[in-house]
Amino acid sequence: MNISEDIKPISYLKSKTADLLKQVNSTHRPVIITQNGEPKAVLQDHESYEKMRNAIGLLKILSISEKEIKNGSAIDNDKALEKIKDKLT
């Protein structure tokens, strides 16, 4: 991994947008866009972005589940299936 390839100034983005898109889609590594030497944005390929969103969604579900188990509001599978069947009928 060459970090200099993954950090680009906004002027590079403006002049070489197609090249940057090709880079992020082929390497699947995000590129950090800087403005006045400060990181301001991240350019990422769609596939990696979707995988990241899905992973965050799963982590949120796990977090909610852990809280429900800790506070005693979780129910076992049999009761959950019963409730679902009742709602469907």
Residues 35 and 65 in one domain: no
Phi, psi of 31 (to 5 degrees): -115, 130
User: 44-76, pLDDT tens digit by residue?
Assistant: 999 999 999 999 999 999 999 999 999 998 888
**How many CB atoms neighbour CB 27 within 10 A?**
15
Please tell me the distance from the alpha carbon of residue 70 to that of residue 58, in angstroms, as a whole number: 18
Residues 51 and 28 in one domain: no
Q: How confident is the model at residue 1 (pLDDT cuts 50, 70, 90)?
A: low
Residues 40 and 52 in one domain: no
The domain total for the chain is 2
Q: How confident is the model at residue 4 (pLDDT cuts 50, 70, 90)?
A: confident
Residues 40 and 51 in one domain: no
Q: Where in the sequence is the domain holding 66, given as residue range(s)?
A: 47-88
CATH of the domain at 18: 3.40.1620
> What pLDDT, on a 0 to 100 scale, did the predictor assign at position 76?
87
Query: 56 or 80, which is more confident?
Result: 56
